[in-house]
Every structure is written in structure tokens, then in C-alpha cells.
A and B are shown apart, each in its own frame.
Chain A
């Protein structure tokens, strides 16, 4: 701030706290934002750059000093590793299938929650539980339900005669079933988020549009296809993209349930990066694996931003 043209002798000048900075909007803004931005730069920006560098270096957990550049050998190594190839496909399968199911179920659930009914708040609380409880702990509940010997799911299915007396699937121990199980749990924990986002979108559709259609004599299905769905599409995409980001990058469900097993059939990039980088001590290799998540992530973010702009226009 420039010094006052005619220096004030006014005591009021001192009345508020602080001097020129406390009044200068531009600088005050910078000073207030700087600590947080530096913090984020140091703990998100810098590690991101480090991750890029590690993926082309020979860094290990024990290595001291500045790791040396090894070119694309980590990536070559990864591509030569069948487990890695498998993990790439598993990741895509896991994320896409989970989100497909989440979107369908989420839409149905949101539509059924749109109507007011008695005890709705309690139903909402119960439906939100999987999202609001610590994920790793909720997943342990499933671990117990999927137990190889004492699975309550198997017991119930047999009791009602859905499974034969001799069939006793080992949910987490058989390749196809294991993937189905982790997807189930992923759906379980993402469904609440998707539902609430979709519900927000649904309730923001103006009532009179729906009513106009009702007066025009449109059937339930026609109303959904021609009115609700198009109006919902932007917000549904938001739910979808966030869900995809979570599913592509998350490792908690798989780590707790199967640790990537059996025979790597549920191994995804996130868990593989962890086992390679942290348990195996090969930080460079782990970083290279984790980095394969980045393009997917970037694509999602770009899509989010594009849709953000589109919805702003309408």
C-alpha cells in the first residue's frame, strides 16, 4: 500500500488491529492463502513429481542418497511381469463393473428415496452406513460374512435351498468368486455416495416439469426416459466419474479381503504397487506401477471439468 497522500494524524488509524497489510485486499489474500498452498504443493505436488522421477529410477526402501536414473527399465520390467498385465485388466474390470452396478442400483435407490415416507431419515441413515463408517472396518464385517467355513451367506442360502447340500462356495478362495466378492463389497461402499448425489440431482428437477408431463399423460417409463434421465445426466456423470476415480485407485477393499489373491486374480494396480513398493521394498517398481493410474485419473478429471463447464452453461 502506498503511503497516504497527506499523512493522517488521526488516532482512528490505529484503532483496528494491524497495519497496511491487514487492509490491503490483494496482499492479505496472498498471505492468507500462501501457507495452505505451500503445504499442498509440498505434500501433493512434490510427491507427484517424485513419483514421476522414482518410476524411472532404481530407488529402493533401503537405498541412501539420490537414486540413479534407469530409464524405462521399471516400466519394461512391469510389462514383462504377467502379474502386472493381469493387474491392469483386473483394475479395469473391477472399476468398470463396480461402477456399472453402482449406477444402476444407485438410480433405482435414488428414485425410491425421492418419495417421502415414514421413517425415511432412518432408512437414509442405514443406507449411508457403508459410506460413513471407516471402510476398512466395514470390509472386515464382509470378511467374516465371506468366511470359508462360517459364512452366514452360505448358511442362509442352504437353509432356503438356494445352494444344494454339497455346494459350499469359498467366496474369497475361488478366482471368479473372489472377484465377484470384492466387486460386491466395492458396490456396497460406493452405492451410498452415488445414491445421495443422484438424489440431489433428482430433487433439483423442477416439479412443474414432471407435473406438466403427468398432465400430458406421459407414462411412468416415458417420463423417466424423456424427462428425468436427460435432466439427470450431468449429475449422474459426476457420480460416475467420482466413483470411477475411487474404484480405480482404491486398495482398501481388496487389501482387506483377498490381498490380491487367489493367484493374483483380484490383484489390482493399487495393491500391486503397495506389495511391490512397500512390502517388496522396490519403490521405483511400485511407483512405476502406481503411475499407470495417472492417465485414467487425468481422463476422469478432464471429463469432470468439461461437464462442469457444460452444466454451467445450461
Chain B
């Protein structure tokens, strides 16, 4: 009986001590990390408003909106952005479809070779991009495919599928197979079951994979640079320009892409919350 009475008295004493330093250490640390992560983004956004005069946009010279007004005044940069955006959309669509199907198979079924496929996905994600890019280039050279827009698409689809497949696989593995059986039981055929039950339930995983693919595609430099031929994408153009000074329009475009990405992520989260509510 006394043991029962003792416990609540002792417990707060034991926790009070650690709470004293946890009280400030954890928030401080968290904010430091968050600040560290956000700093480059903040600098990028800020210097899109910099009233810079020379070629180099590295010193703060006052606030202006002129770069937003003159966003599309550099034709090459505009073309590069267009190429990047259209490639990203195409790659996202293809990689999301293929990756989703692959992830569903891996998350649900047991089949011969499932281990090797999983290993392959892991290898694809873990392999250094330089290696992937270079080996893909030698493949294109060997087969004799001219490098350009479509080889970029192929290369990016290749490395994006794994990311989609992995996120969908996790989602699929967590999905109760009885849900699909219930749909069949209630009279849905295979197609109706997929579109009304399986796909909606996999959607968070599919969307996460798609967003990841879009982000990876739009800023991929290494693999793209190997397989781009004469096509210039946004990152390739920026890298080329960095030797002579990057124009502030790049910051503005970066800001807009970033803002778009944040918007998508927030919208996705909101839809998810509404669906579950």
C-alpha cells in the first residue's frame, strides 16, 4: 500500500530535473537547425529583390521589384526554364504511373525475384549520380541515341521511379488486403476496386512520390548534364551562368518554383486532412 502512495510523490521529482535544461535546450537547438536549413532559401528570396547594379548579385544594394518585372527578359534563361518545367511534368507523370504500379506489386504480392527488385530500387537510390549519369551516357552512345530533350526525360524517369516505388510500396504494405476483398465482395470488379478503393487509399503515397519526382527533376544537374546534348535546362543554364555572374532573375525563378512547391505540399496536406476528417 505504501508503495502505491509513494510513487506519485516521487515521480514529479524525478522528472523535474531533466525538464529544467530541456526547457531551453531543445527549442534553441530546434530553431538553430531550422534556421540553418532555411538560410539558403532566405538568401535566395532576398536577393531576388536586390537592386544590384553589376554582374554579380552578392552584395545588398537596396530593395527593388524590377527583376520580377523583367523576369523573362533573358531568352536563354526563359527557354531553359520552359524546358525544365515541361520535362518535369512529363517525367512526373511517367515515373509516377510506373513507380506506383511497381510499388503496388512490391508492397502486396510475393513473387519470384522480389528480393532482387527491392535491391535494385535501393541500389538505384544509393548509387552516386555521377555513376548513373555516366553509365547512362555510355549506353546512349553505344545504342546510338542522339542526346537531347528525350534522353533527359528517360534519364530522369529512370532515377525517379525508385522514389515513387518506395513511397507507394510502404503505403501498399500498410493497406489491409481485406479492403480490396471487401470491395470485390460488394460487387466491384477489378477496375472499380482499383479506382474507388486502392488508388484513393494509396494517394498520399502517390502524391508524395510525384512531388518528390517533380522536385528531383526540376533541379537535377548531374545526371541531366551527362545526357542533355544541346538541350539546356534551368540548372544547366544557371551553372553555366555562374562563372559570369548569376542574374537576379534566377533568384526570382527559384523563389517562384520554391513557392509553387510549398503551395503544392500545403495543398496536399490540406486535402489529406480533409479526407481523413
Partners in one complex: no
